[in-house]
Structure 1
Amino acid sequence: MKIAIFTDTYYPDVNGVARTLKRLADYLEEHDIACRIFAPKTPSEYVADNLHQFTSLSVFLYPECRLAFPNLSQVKSELERFSPDLIHVATPFNIGLCGSYFAKKMNIPLVGSYHTDFDKYLKYYNLQFLSKYVWKYMAWFNKPFQKIYVPSIETMNQLQQRGFTNLELWGRGVDCGLFHPDYNKLSARMRYNAGNKYLFTYAGRLAPEKDLNTLMNVAATLPDYIKEQVQWIIVGDGPIREELEGIAPDNMIFTGYLKGKRLAEVYSISDVFVFPSATETFGNVVLEALAIGTPVVCANSGGVKHLVKNGVTGFLCEPGNPESFKEALIKLIHNPSLLQSMGREGRSFALTQKWDNILESLVWSYKGVTETGEKIKYA
């Protein structure tokens, strides 16, 4: 089987979509399944034999995202040479549209994956009036797909209510060999001047849709006796980093983007992972924190609410309510034994979320699509 993946973001971009697709591409290669990725060209010098990149520009107000300008003749020539059995479109922008176009033109089976709740982002940019247009576009864009892979039950339910069909769950795994609890915590604590303080950590994009206003409110209004015992570590970058640094309390450190072992080390020294975002379709960073054995305090919304078992591996809080988050954090500070038991339970859960099993199921689904011979529904 040969798979062509069309995406508007790919490794080394730092986001869940890019990381997931890189994991998929690596799995396909390891299992001798030929794969070609069509993606935007980025300032990075990363290259790969199976990666075809196209000129792109960064998006206004969202510089980490890029708008690509695929060369259609090049795409057609490469697809004719490669002769894929299936096209997988991962994003609803220029390159995704290109993939759908050639699937129709060349009569190639077509699937898609839904990664981002753009509709939920709108209120954070004061663009709620665009909601109906976003959903109309997404319905049109996803209609031709013979399968639409979604990352969580929550996302599947949401799309079903919107009339989407052919939905199938494609969850996410975690590398428990990288994200484990046995790092040298002393040296990592020294790196962040943590001393003996409790460490509260956030990891993710620093952008409005992550509801970091709630996190900053929590940090600023915790009781003074708690503040004195706490060090915050904020991992990530994005359009509002400078704004956040300007209002951050003295006990908050910004690290920028971290990945691999450095990111895992931060999780490993953290007492609690705090994640206020209510817009996640899955929440890869939440699963990574659980794999390390770090309890999670997060919004009871989106895909993350299916990862955290309330009262067992962390606490689910009312989205956008700082008091709900503060109550959970104070409870954990006062209950060291609860912190420890939640860490153990989180690690046990993460050990069941194996990438190989998840990606093997996806490949079997691919095979099912290629063997049905269904026509692409462009009507």
Structure 2
Amino acid sequence: MKIALYAGTYVRDKDGAVKSIYQLVSSFRKKGHRVAVWSPDVTKGDNHSGLTVRRMPSVPIPLYPDYKLGFFTNETRRQLDAFAPDIVHISTPDIIGRKFLLYARNKNIPVASAFHTDFPSYFSYYRLGFAVKHAWKYLTWFYNNCNMVLAPNESVRHKLAGYAIRNIEIWSRGVDKELFDPFRRSEKLRSEWNATGRTVIVYAGRFVLYKDIEVVMSVYDRFMQGEYADQVRFVMIGSGPEEEEMKRRMPEAVFTSYLTGEELPEAYASGDIFLFPSTTEAFCNVALEALASGLPVIVSDVGGCRDIADRSAAGFVVHEGCVDDFYGKCLALLGDSLRYRELRACGLAYAEMQSWSAVNGFVIDRYQELVDRAKRSAEERVLSFEG
């Protein structure tokens, strides 16, 4: 197959969605399929191991400069025509994603889209709740014009179906067990964090309001103002527009900035508890990475993180926004308790079963079916015309 893939960003390790896209592209190529990627946000100076990656014209998104607003041009159309894809995969249903969808529909090319991010759920954090209805109206139109919509889990499938979206199938997420492994734990790194003899509570993700960082900061306050202040160390992995505010409110926490390569799994494995209260996750790759690194997780009961915690039995699910409960569950895991070891063992066992090859193999097989069906339909149209 020849797969044309559009992604709003194609910068390695930038977020969970991009990690999934990179793994999917890798799986396509390992199976001998050809892939070409288009994105307005591409890693500079990276040859992408010989993969064709087209950088599209773009400008920074206001109030969110780490991401780009791109433009579909006549040159993009010529590039697509020259590549002549058998199927189009759209990872971001934005303005460019809409253009890719219309291109595919006009050419009678099968098109699939993956639901990576619950964008409408962000609006309430910026007092834009009035826009939620309009956003879902557009997304329903967008996804119902795709041959297949890939949801990361059953909870997202149910949510999409509730908006009358059709043709939904499950594309879960895997984890690279060679990369994320508890054996990467580093006492040297823990010493640099001044965490020797302490329980390290890790957060990993964007420092933005819609990740419910207010809960993280409030849990930190509870610890720092109580009797356990000298028994914990908070390690914040990531970056974002709220970083300076978080540093101001969490002066005793360690801020690592974005970590990539082997530095990220080393930081995970050098922690003890993964605290991630976000309610806006579609899947929650970071929770799966934490489990694979040996960390029990404490997550919200809203969003995709709950699915991972429930299926793995490797953590606690807390009512959204309940600081008291998040704090209490962190307390319950301080030290090397039997409960802590049980949760850790469950997480490691679950992660062992989540290989990317199995997860992505399903997608590849279904895409091949769509392509074969489209080719048969094209042949039938030709025969009907000649007849």
TM-score by length of 2: 0.92
1:310-329 equivalence runs, <5 A: 312-329=313-330
Q: CA contact under 8 A between 2:88 and 2:110: conserved in structure 1?
A: yes
Closer, same or farther: CA 180–90 of 1 in aligned 2, 3 Å: same
Taking the aligned partners of 2:302 and 2:154, their CA distance within structure 1 comes to 12
With over 3 angstroms needed to count, the CA separation of the structure-2 counterparts of 1:108 and 1:134, relative to structure 1, is: same
Write the distance in 1 (CA, Å) between the matches of 2:220 and 2:281.
Answer: 22
Residue number in structure 1 paired with 2:33: 33
CA drift at 1:311 = 9.7
> Contact 2:150–2:169 at 8 Å: present in 1 too?
yes
Letter in 1 for 2:56: F
Distance 1:310 1:145, change over 3 A: closer
Could you say which residue in structure 2 is the equivalent of 1:24?
Answer: 24
Moved over 6 A (4+): none
Q: Identity of aligned pairs, percent?
A: 30
Q: Tell me, what secondary structure is at the counterpart of 1:168?
A: strand
Deviations 1:53-82 (CA, angstroms, capped at 9, x unpaired): 1111111111121101222x2222222222
309 and 335 in structure 1: CA distance in 2 versus 1, 3 angstrom threshold: farther
1:296 matched to 2:294: no
Q: 1:172 to 1:99 in 2, by over 3 A?
A: same
Kept in 2: contact 1:219–1:249 (CA 8 A): no
Equivalent AA in structure 2 for residue 31 of structure 1: K
Alignment of 1:1-379 (within 5 A): 1-12=1-12, 14-42=14-42, 44-48=44-48, 49-71=51-73, 73-222=74-223, 224-250=226-252, 252-309=253-310, 312-333=313-334, 336-373=337-374
Q: Return the alpha-carbon distance in structure 2 between the equivalents of residues 147 and 183 of structure 1.
A: 39
**Contact kept? 1:42, 1:56, Cα under 8 Å:** no
For 2:80 and 2:185, the matched residues in 1 are separated by: 48
Q: Is the 8 A contact 1:200 1:273 kept in 2?
A: yes
Check 1:15–1:261 CA distance in 2 against 1; reply closer, same or farther (3 A cut). same
Deviation at 1:43, TM superposition (A): 6.9
* 1:358 alignment partner AA: V
Contact 2:9/2:41, CA 8 A, preserved across alignment: no
Q: Does the CA-based 8 Å contact 1:111-1:145 persist in structure 2? A: yes
Shift of 1:310: 8.5
Preserved contact between residue 12 and residue 46 of structure 1 (Cα < 8 Å) = no
Residue identity in the other structure for 1:346 = G
Decide which moves more: 41-50 or 260-269.
41-50
Range that drifts further, 132-141 or 331-340:
331-340
User: d(CA) in 1 for partners of 2:77 and 2:124?
Assistant: 39
1:329 & 1:312 partners in 2: Cα distance? Answer: 16
Q: Deviations over 1:183-219 (max 9, x none)?
A: 2521221232212111000000001100000110011
Q: Per-residue displacement from partner, 1:256-308 (whole Å, max 9, x unpaired)?
A: 10122111111111110000101100000000000011110111121111111
- CA 184–90 in structure 1, closer or farther in 2 if over 3 Å, else same: closer
Give the aligned residue type for 1:368. E
Partners of 2:101 and 2:111 within 8 A in 1? yes
Counterpart secondary structure, 2:262: helix
Equivalent AA in structure 1 for residue 25 of structure 2 = A
> Which runs of 5 or more structure 1 residues have no equivalent in the other structure?
none
Partner of 2:309, secondary structure, is coil
Equivalent residues of 2:12, 2:43 under 8 A apart: no
Given that 1:4 and 1:37 are in contact with CA atoms closer than 8 Å, whether structure 2 keeps it comes out as: yes
Q: Gapped runs of 5+ residues in structure 2?
A: 378-387
Once residues 348 and 17 of structure 2 are traced to their aligned partners in structure 1, the CA distance between those partners, rounded to angstroms, is 24
Q: Structure 1 residues 37 and 281 mapped into 2: Cα distance closer, same or farther (>3 Å)? A: same
3-state SS of the aligned residue for 1:159?
Answer: helix
Q: Which amino acid aligns with 1:18?
A: V
1 CA distance for matches of 2:202 and 2:368?
Answer: 41
Structure 1 counterpart SS, 2:227: helix
User: Using the alignment, how far apart are the partners of 1:10 and 1:126 within structure 2?
Assistant: 29
The residue matched to 1:149 in structure 2 has which SS?
strand
Does the aligned pair in 2 maintain the 1:199–1:230 contact within 8 Å?
yes
> Structure 1 residues 307, 184: CA separation in 2 closer, same or farther (over 3 Å shift)?
closer
Partner of 2:380: none
Q: How many residues align?
A: 374
The one-letter code sitting in structure 1 at the alignment partner of 2:36 is R
**Contact 1:11–1:22 (Cα < 8 Å) also in 2:** no
State the Cα RMSD in Å. Answer: 1.9
Note the alpha carbon deviations across 1:54-111, whole angstroms, 9 max, x for none. Answer: 111111111121101222x222222222221101111111321221121022221111
CA distance in 1, matches of 2:330, 2:63: 33
Q: CA deviation at 1:18?
A: 1.5
Distance 1:256 1:11, change over 3 A: same
TM-superposition CA deviations, 1:135-187 (whole Å, max 9, x none) = 11111221210100011111101011111110000000000111011125212
Contact conserved, 2:296 with 2:340, CA < 8 A, in 1? Answer: yes
In structure 2, relative to structure 1, the CA distance for the partners of 1:194 and 1:18 (3 Å cut) is same
Alpha-carbon distance, 1:42 to partner: 4.4
Distance 2:86 2:12 in 1: 26
CA contact (8 A) 1:147 1:167 kept: yes
